Structure 1
Amino acid sequence: MVSPGTKLILWRFILPIAMIALFTPNFCLAKQSKINGLKMNVIDRCWRLNAEWRKHRSQLATCSLGYVGKMVNNIGKDLVHYKVIDPSDDPINPKPGTLRYGASMIQGKVWITFQRDMHIKLERPVLISSFTTIDGRGTNVHIADNACLLIFKATNVIIHGIRIHHCKPQSPGIVMGTHGKVIPLGQVDGDAIRLVTASNIWIDHNTLYDCQDGLLDVTRGSTNVTISNNWFRNQDKVMLLGHDDGYVRDQNMKVTVVYNHFGPNCNQRMPRIRYGYAHVANNLYQGWVQYAIGGSMSPSLKSEANLFVASTPGRKEVTWRKVSHKNEDRWEFHSVRDAFENGASFMVTKGGRVPKPNYSKEQCFKIVDAKFVRSLTRWSGTLRCSKTSRC
């Protein structure tokens, strides 16, 4: 029989151990969460920590940020789930089960996934309808070796988790357009993804390279676009924001470029901007040949907490300004908390204000110190997602 005094001594010994056992796991989880937070950017933390993301794919639509806002218009009770089972393509009479059928023929909200790994060689560009999500997570999907993707007069489109490369120019012809109507389509230059008069577009976690013209064009009045977590590599002209020097309507363009990895072997246009405004933040630049950021026609750009690593050998200056027009002194190119390595430098606009993104509450996100950019962009490009665990 244990005496009351002995019990008291035992409790004084056991209680501290019990307290440690009770509270230490929570502390470790909090600490681990903080570590994961540094390794994973805010978009990825929103869905990648969920091991059952496959059962909740549409959660992705709540994870967007920047000018695109939240893509909640892409989800809801009326959402159609469509699975691509056939990699073939017929540009005029697309078969059910093909990518073109899901992207162009189905009306309303559609969430497109893929049954298996596949290589899709498009005969003509696929015109993507409004309220369409193309979600390649969990499969290895390549759109390559001919025509690629076109978002024409559409809104609320997500393109996620696709490898797009070796896109080629296309001569004029007819093609299945949005709303299931055959339309004439003019000359196409050979871009991986082109936006024409499009709005509320989110391009996330794609790998784009080796296309005959550019990798991503935002043109002809397109606006409210977020370009995030992509890997752009092996390309001369990477990203164009604004159609041409004569298209004044692009002055209303607003684009967020965040958590992307540019390089290796990229020459120029990361991005090149005309007229509008771009917020370029927390991106990794792995060298350039001509320039990384440039443009014309009085654009405004805020470069914030990016990491610019100049090539060896190669040009060290990040920026380029077209000087053949009268408005060259009205540029607003500002560098705020950027980091520079290997001799990189940024020629900022002298004087004036630093243009702010002026995000709404749902668009806003925290810009992380540039020293964490390598971690934030570690998973840029398409993700390898296991069938049994997290991406």
Structure 2
Amino acid sequence: MLTIVVLLVSFAWSFVYVGLPFYIEHITTVGTAATLAWTGWILGVTSLVSMATTPLWGRYGSRGDTRSVFVVMQTLQALGFLAAALAGSLVELFLARVVLGAIGATSTLAFMVASREPEPSERRHRLGMIQSATMGGQVLAPLVGAAAAARLGFRVSFLLGGLMLGGCAALLQWGNLRILPPPEPISGARHRLPVQTVAMTAAVVLVGSAQEAFLASVLPGVLPGLGVPPRAMLEVGGMLIFVSGVAGAVGGLLAPRLADQVHHRRLLPALLTASSVGLVLLGAAGSIWLYTTLRIIQSLAIAPLFPLVVGRIAHHGGGEAIGILNAARAGGSFVGPVVATSLLAWGPPSVVYLLLGVAGLAAVPLTRR
């Protein structure tokens, strides 16, 4: 049940997200550079606000009735999508995205529930399934969302996304969701993670998330240079995000198997290095086909990172540690689009890829701790 809910939530968000940059282009009344700035902030502000609120929701969910918190968050998200559907200007859309960020990321509770599994291999499996469900929604939604936005309109796509989230709230309330109680700590000193460990892990998650999240925000500016005609950009962009999601879902499924066979001090640096190099190589792609191939490879490398690092510390850190890591993930989802669109406003796309790649390589030493 938990995996199904995570899949549907991810689908709803990705269903809308794929068309959001193009909707911004549709309703904008400002120049090109200002529109790029608005695009980065509208896409990223939800994650920025979520950075502050997600740890609070995680703490509340770990100490209170987890199911009820889950239901409340999904219901509020559904209402937030309705507000976005009613937005008629860039400012109104920005404010709707701020409200959605304040509600927090429900994936925090999903990872927290999965991490309560006491057996390590089963815990890694459940965390990997949550990651795969998240990526699965990102796989299935872009093509459908792009087609819906192109044929039914952007507002209708927001309304459909809100209905899906409302259905998830109903599943959580009345479905057969098994939630284990939080594990009893054996010793406070033994189970309290050092602040430095959590901070370094959060930094790695933030960089990895930025490498995942930047793409949609730059598609309207990148696709023309890859030979995509304007009339086809929305659906080609949906296809590109779709195949990235497929690769990410496969990477999430491979995470527990990789963890069983390769020590994390070798595995995590290798994954982050491969993703960063793949990003830098995107700047050399001269066609949509080569660009898509490189993005698939990069997505395969970065997708296992989050469930692997969560699996390392979540069982000892509890809901608060997961909230911090999910906040870092949300922070990356803010930093990626904002930085990417800001750089694209004055420079070529290769600068975006180079900066994100260098940031990933700089974070590699942190994965060996």
Q: TM bucket by the smaller chain?
A: under 0.3
Which structure is higher in strand share? 1
The normalised TM-score by structure 1 is 0.23
In terms of fraction of residues, the more helix-rich structure is 2
Q: TM-score, normalised by structure 2?
A: 0.23
Q: Which has the larger radius of gyration?
A: 1
Larger RCO: 1 or 2 (CA < 8 Å, sep 6+): 2
